[in-house]
Structure 1
């Protein structure tokens, strides 16, 4: 009956195929791997160059520094930048040819900016280092005498700029996908809410109108059965059958009311993300290029639904803010004891130092308040810190205790 009246439930997101990222975004991992392979090959052929040019100890020392810097790209990116950029400078000062190593420096600059190191910092260090390395080979800036001095600085600048641009594009696309998902989820929630409100209205009308009248008819049939004179067996059987049919209709009406109020397809509605999905959320941000240092406890403990959802959404919004307005590593700490305590700290990017709170911060405070907790978000010098505390047990449980 409900299907005939247009009650088929349809997910509005079915009409929207998933967004397809540009090739530059989808190929970031392959660029990372390819750049590493190129650097390894460049380091592998450098010993041949050292032997051919009689670079001696200076060549081997600069090669060792460059190799050590490449190894530290992941765990210590800034130290890696210093070692890789300084290796050709040291080699040139000691008499070795810096050409292969400043090539390694350019590719490493691209890799570092692609992985999240500040493009301005990398470009500044690499340009200065490449200029110095090429200058020390002939002690002149005259292009006719030393053509490399005109190429090396701009090569380093281009490499750092390309890596930074690809990383910015990836971050922009990640934020765009998140906004698209939120918009579709909000639209779906509005549709579901409208359907639920209409179901409740129909259920109320059935309960207050039809249900009441059916109950009255059943009562009158019962009274008629009592008032029948002796010997009216045929009439008594008919009244009894009619009363049983009315009671059956009443039971079926109650079932329809239950379906309208609860919904027959509850299993098809995706549950609200809870705190137990925070590790998967962190992994998603890491996969998108955000460096997250997470300290997470065992999150299998059950929490009130509103607290669980608020914890997930607060961590999600705090990491999103750190990705959009911060730089470097994001520190995330979640503690679960008598209360759920969340702390997210990130270094503010220079461009966002003067920006104020936005809708994201307001939304986080409202989520914390709706769950009976509190949230504090503020800038502390060069860092931005978000602290939230949510009750780990329902309010009525705390009162009973």
Structure 2
């Protein structure tokens, strides 16, 4: 395994780091101010300025959108990067998680939905929805999680998708549909059951539902530890009541929903982990700066023994997590998502916990400032903690990993 960056990656890293310094970091305070003056869940105007600059610099649609990093080889808007090439770039954007990913059109849940449309969409679906997503003209949402069931088991989903002539009719209730509160969110990918009597992994299907379809009702925006995540487009609770869409809106085919979800979640999980490495790095940087600037009990915080231990431990934990993420990216590129299944689950367990630990220690060093709006740490911590639930909770990944390990020894006994 060789994790050194190739020439193209090094150039993109340099360009992206300069973009962050010259435009993204200065825009953070501007965006915060604008969010207080515009309608809730509306994208701050400074985002369009960032997008324009990112396009000028060739920093657009960098995320791999197909297996083995094939990022739309026949589409002029695809960058064609591998997962290993994208990893250090996603890490950089994670340093400003509220602005940087969207500014280069590499933000969740849109990238995951682009992946679904790339891998499973018909030419018509790609023309209608994928192209405007790649152009950053619209936003999207993925509607899977439901309030009435334990959604950690995706087969629990109760939303119905029923065939009626040339249409499908959808009835159900979803929540935590990220991005759906944004007025620019134009399309939902909805997961529901087309055949409850089928095998438990063949009951589900996914279907494209335009936001303005009759029967779609946005009930409310969910809060995350008190944050409305307006910068992200919020997280919506949505009801679907006799929502009728053309049968051509079905993705792939009936019974393919669970497989599509797994194909979507694998890359999504590693992209989250890549960005979390960047969040942890920024938290460590802020912690070190604060520790050298502040004096308590006659000496800098950096000279207090426990703070030095936190800084050293943070560096070790970040490096360990990064190596595992890079190995996972390399495996995804060389043997595919299925071959990297163990590592994808491992990083989903390790990285959010690592980032939460580092950010927590940075908050502690900042004292009262750490939990205030004057620093990004509190909101970063909320994001890292949330990712121990999103895309599958820790316990599900641990149980699956344990089962996979034990299977080796069960085979020996038989």
Q: What TM-score comes out, normalization by structure 1 length?
A: 0.25
Which structure has greater helix proportion?
1
Max Rg structure: 1
Which structure has greater strand proportion?
2
* Higher RCO (Cα < 8 Å, 6 or more apart): 2
Q: What TM-score comes out, normalization by structure 2 length?
A: 0.24
